[in-house]
Copies of this chain bind each other. A is one copy, B any other.
C-alpha cells in the first residue's frame, strides 16, 4: 500500500497531536516530524501556516467523527439503542486507547474560543453540523444539543479521571432524554 500523499500525512499527524495535547502545545516541528515530511512542504501545502492547517484539520476531523458516529447510530434498531451505542462505543474507545481517543476538536475549540475568531468559527461549524445530523435523528434541536453536550462533557471527565463511568452514566441519561415524550 502506498503511503498517503504528503499533504494528507500532515493533516493526519496534526489531528493526532491536537487530539492528544491541543492546539497551542503543537509546534510545526512536531507536525512535520509526525508526518515524516520536510519542513518546507508545510508552507507549500498550507501557505496560511498553522491557522490554515488547524482550520482544515478541524473540518476534516469533524467530518470523519460525524461519519463514524452516524454509522454507529444508524445500525441500531431504535433511538434509545442508538444513543446508548454511541456512548458505549465512546467508552470502549477511550478505555482501549488509554483515554487519548476522544472528541477530536474539543480541546482546540476551548483553546481558541476567545482568542482566534477564524478557528473558533471552524469549530462552531463542526458542532453545528453534528447538531444538525443529530437533530434529524432525535427529532428536535434541543434534544440534539443536550445529547451532544452530555457526550462532550463525558469525554472531558473520562479523560481527566481515567474512568469510563462518566460516559456510561451520561449515555443512560442521554438515551432516556432522546426518547422522552415531553421535553419540559
| Chain A residues close to B by CB (< 8 Å) | 20-25, 98-100, 106-107, 109-111, 113-115, 120, 123-124, 127-128, 141-143, 145-157, 159-162, 165-170, 172-177, 180, 183-184
Q: Is the CB of B111 within 8 A of A111?
A: yes
Q: Is the CB of B21 within 8 A of A160?
A: no
CB A131 to nearest CB in B, in angstroms, measures: 8
Q: Is the CB of A146 within 8 A of B170?
A: yes
Q: Is the CB of A21 within 8 A of B153?
A: no
Q: A25-B115, A153-B153, A172-B146 are in contact. Are A159 and B99 (CB under 8 A)?
A: no
Which B residues are in CB contact (< 8 Å) with A147?
Answer: 173
Q: A111-B22, A111-B107 are in contact. Are A157 and B152 (CB under 8 A)?
A: yes
In whole angstroms, what is the CA distance A34 to B149 when docked? Answer: 32
Q: Is the CB of B159 within 8 A of A114?
A: yes
Q: A21-B115, A106-B110, A113-B99 are in contact. Are A184 and B172 (CB under 8 A)?
A: yes
CB A138 to nearest CB in B, in angstroms, measures: 11
Q: Is the CB of B20 within 8 A of A21?
A: no
Which B residues are in CB contact (< 8 Å) with A21?
Answer: 24, 111, 114-115
Q: Which of A20, A100, A106, A151 has the most CB of B within 10 A?
A: A106
Which B residues are in CB contact (< 8 Å) with A165?
Answer: 141-142, 145
Q: Is the CB of B156 within 8 A of A110?
A: yes
